Chain A
Amino acid sequence: MIGEFTGHIIEAGHYALVLALALAAAQATAPLWGVRRGDAALMGIAAPAALMQFAMIALSFAALTYAHLASDFSLANVVENSHSAKPLIYKISGVWGNHEGSMLLWVLILVVFGALVAAFSRAMPDDLRAATLAVQGWISGAFILFILLTSNPFARVFPAPIEGRDLNPILQDIGLAIHPPLLYFGYVGFSISYSFAAGALICGRIDAAWARFVRPWTLLAWMFLTLGIAMGSYWAYYTLGWGGFWFWDPVENASLMPWLAGTALLHSATVMEKRGALKVWTIFLAILAFSLSLLGTFLVRSGVLTSVHSFASDPQRGVFILAILVFFIGGSLALFAWRAPQLKPGGIFAPVSREGSLVLNNLLLTASCATVFVGTLYPLALEALTGEKISVGAPFFNLTFGPIFLPILILMPVAQMLAWKRGDLLGAAQRLTLAAAAGFVTALGLGAIHGGPVLSIVGVMIAAYLIVGSFVEIAGRIFARGVSASVALARALGLPRSAWGAAFAHAGMGVTLFGLAATGWGIEEVLAIRAGDNVKAGPYEVRFLDVETKPGPNFRATVARASVTSGGREIAVIEPARRYFPTRQMSTTEAGIVTIGLGQLYVSLSGENADGSLDGRIYWKPWVSLIWIGALFMAFGGLLSLSDRRLRIGVAKRARAPAAVQPAE
């Protein structure tokens, strides 16, 4: 029962949010003052403030979760997004299935990162740590203020209604429990790279050691962002019923841009760490990655775009987020412009070398990011300036992003082969003969089986080359002429984990490309379904057994049970369904999907016809699961790299110690 007790918990949560704002203010100012005066006591405020702030936000978030669990309809947020009959899992995930709650989750993850830096970066110089946490305090302060002033999840309604309006049915899916937290850990994780960059600019500590501090955090954010994007894509794929997984929607682009910038940052930080070069550029990328995350937050949360992601549009919110955006991007760039010229340039290196190839990687990644940026923001700018409305869709991005990203895919294995300082391009190309051969064989084999579009055949050729090519460098280090199996194994285990990580992440890109290329071989059937129908979809047959209506907790489902057979043998029974949610008078599509090998057979229902048949689509999509498996590979590569001893958070100081003995260059 909702009573006084619940009320106290909610008020405590609200109060904790206000306290967190006060803590953020302290964290944002006192340590900076301490850095300026060299006062250890003032700098020492940063870490405990960050930890306390995390505790307060966690309490606040727990209180909101409690209100959703207890279906306390005195909170506007619960009324608008929950229903007493909603299943438990969606009561929990529904906490962030709305504007206010999702902003609170954003801030929660922000302070989680702040607390992690406070707890695990003891090895960092005190001033850098204090300045970094102070910048983090500015960010969390701004967003907590945004929540309290424009998006308060603890706002009450009086009198409290007896029932809520339920969560948007499209969000009543396990995807809501996974996709936003992963994506936010990625988005918000880049705030640490940003704060490190700002902190380094403030303290004037921009050196190889800084790159070593910032890399694990960037890697962590990048892993989560990779998984978050992949999960969002898979969710759209199975829930929208069209079998599509990427639409070049502005909201998707908003997550792709920080990913591209973050990927560039990971690579340039390596150059900075190893060669002490690209300092200014790396700092700039660290600022850019989080700026693009903020831009994404603005696009998604301000209501300038309509999509399932923008829950409500309120012009006040848009202006506030825009102000935050301008403050943090403008502020950091001003700091950058002031401090960057004081840096000693890091020296220019040979074009054909590991660092040369990483520069090319950065150029291509940022250029591809720029095309996505233009395609995403040009329509908005045009509308704001001229009132003219246009839409920029997939053809634009395929034509611009594609050709710029293609060289990255081809050059990835080559770059892994090049030595630092001076690379041997011809040697690298020769060692990749095997990978190229693998590409040709795959293309010939699959081309013979599937035939079909040239683009698919070329796509799998590059993909196979990239997958094999990613491991050639490692293979070369393990297997030499006359080396026994046990020695090879010992060598394999002895290799730095970051080398394995790079290989896996690069191969993951190839795996994803493979899945993308193979979409050209898919088969689509549009049909009217009746019980007893037999439909052929590629190598499989789908037989519809019966169509019935079943009640669910807060919906009514029309389910068409179907048996999938291959050569007369039953492989699976699937239950594609349409769910009707009376509270919102809205239907959703639950695709019936069976994974066969790496491909998927996908059946979705859309409308009911007057004659009692159901409109439906059947897809056979060979290799399609590779699109998302590739992302898992990439994240696994990131994890391996993160576990590398040299990169582990907190040990950077020890690793740096011997270097201090030698005079600086």
Chain B
Amino acid sequence: MTRKGRRLTLIASALGTLGAALGLVLYAMRDNIVFFYGPSELAEKAPAPGARLRIGGLVKQGSVTRGAEKSITFIITDTKKDVAVSYSGQLPDLFREGQGVVTEGILTAPGQFRADTVLAKHDETYMPRDVADALKKQGVWNEGAPKPAGVTK
């Protein structure tokens, strides 16, 4: 192979690999990205039912109802808007009323969410960052300030 041919092969394979990587990234970005909304944002943006989302906020006091076979319903709130969540399965260690929570699942109808994942937290003082931001956006909580009513500890 000539020197020029070799050089071309090298450049072509580099571009080919990069192109493949770029193509895959763009393709994967279409379907495999999950948006995060707080309850107010959800009401405002009103995504079509069937969308895969993450919803985060506080578990509303007195809203947790346990059904048969590990099914559970609860309300996620940012104190302004609520989302009703149904879930079936094991809950993380620190799932409690009044605590921050992030869930991932499918929006079944406006304000109705079927979660397939409830995300675990690592620490009792830790507020999931997304939740903290969503609450701050609604002006109901500021870092350092006492947590809003309904937030234990």
Contacts and interface: CB of A to CB of B under 8 A. Distances in A.
B59 to A, nearest CB: 15
Interface string A399-434: 110011000000000000000000000000000000
Interface string B63-93: 0000000100000000000000000011111
Contact of A607 (B13, B24, B37, B91): B91
B93 A391 contact: no
Interface in A348-371: 348-351, 359-360, 363-364, 367-368, 370-371
Contacts of A370: 18, 21
B93 to A, nearest CB: 5
B1 A351 contact: yes
B17 A606 contact: no
A363 B14 contact: yes
Interface string B9-39: 1100110011011001101110111111100
B24 A168 contact: no
Interface in A381-407: 388-393, 395-396, 399-400, 403-404
B6 A351 contact: yes
Given A170-B122, A390-B33, A400-B24, A351 B13 contact: yes
A400 B25 contact: yes
Nearest to B119: A391
Contacts of A351: 1, 6, 9-10, 13
B94 interface: yes
A363 B17 CA distance: 7
Interface string A148-189: 000000000000000000001010000000000000000000
Nearest to B125: A584
A374 B33 CA distance: 12
A279 interface: no
Interface stretch (A450-458, A530-538, A585-593): A585-593
A399 B27 contact: yes
Interface of A: 168, 170, 240, 305-308, 348-351, 359-360, 363-364, 367-368, 370-371, 374-375, 378, 388-393, 395-396, 399-400, 403-404, 526, 584-589, 606-607, 615, 617
Nearest to A610: B66
Interface of A is mostly: mixed
A404 B90 contact: no
Nearest to A171: B122
24 contacts: A170-B122, A240-B120, A305-B129, A308-B122, A348-B10, A350-B6, A351-B9, A351-B10, A364-B17, A371-B24, A378-B29, A388-B35, A390-B34, A391-B36, A391-B104, A393-B34, A395-B31, A396-B32, A400-B21, A403-B20, A404-B21, A526-B70, A585-B124, A586-B123
B25 A371 contact: yes
Contacts of A349: 6
B128 interface: yes
A584 B124 contact: yes
Interface residues of B, number: 43
B36 A586 contact: no
Nearest to A369: B21
A307 B24 contact: no
A395 B28 contact: yes
Contacts of A371: 21, 24-25
B18 A391 contact: no
Contacts of A585: 124, 153
A359 B20 contact: no
Given A350-B6, A351-B9, A395 B32 contact: yes
B114 interface: no
Given A306-B128, A351-B9, A395-B28, A367 B35 contact: no
A392 B9 contact: no
A308 B119 CA distance: 13
Contacts of B27: 399
A587 B37 CA distance: 29
A187 B104 CA distance: 33
Contacts of A360: 13
Identify which of A360, A392, A396, A585 gathers the most chain B CB atoms within 10 Å of its CB: A396
Nearest to A616: B90
Contact of A389 (B17, B28, B32, B133): B133
Contacts of B25: 371, 374-375, 400
A22 to B, nearest CB: 36
Contacts of B34: 390-393
Interface string B90-124: 11111000000000100000000000000010111
A190 B125 CA distance: 35
Contacts of B120: 240
A307 B10 CA distance: 41
Given A308-B122, A584-B124, A586-B123, A396 B93 contact: no
B119 to A, nearest CB: 10
A617 B89 CA distance: 11
A395 B28 CA distance: 8
A374 B28 CA distance: 11
B133 A367 contact: no
B105 to A, nearest CB: 13
A157 to B, nearest CB: 18
Contacts of B28: 395-396, 399-400
Nearest to A241: B93
Contacts of B1: 350-351
Nearest to B31: A395
B54 interface: yes
Contact of B126 (A306, A368, A378, A404): A306
B147 interface: no
Given A395-B28, A400-B24, A367 B17 contact: yes
Nearest to A360: B13
Contacts of A586: 93-94, 123-124
B20 A404 contact: yes
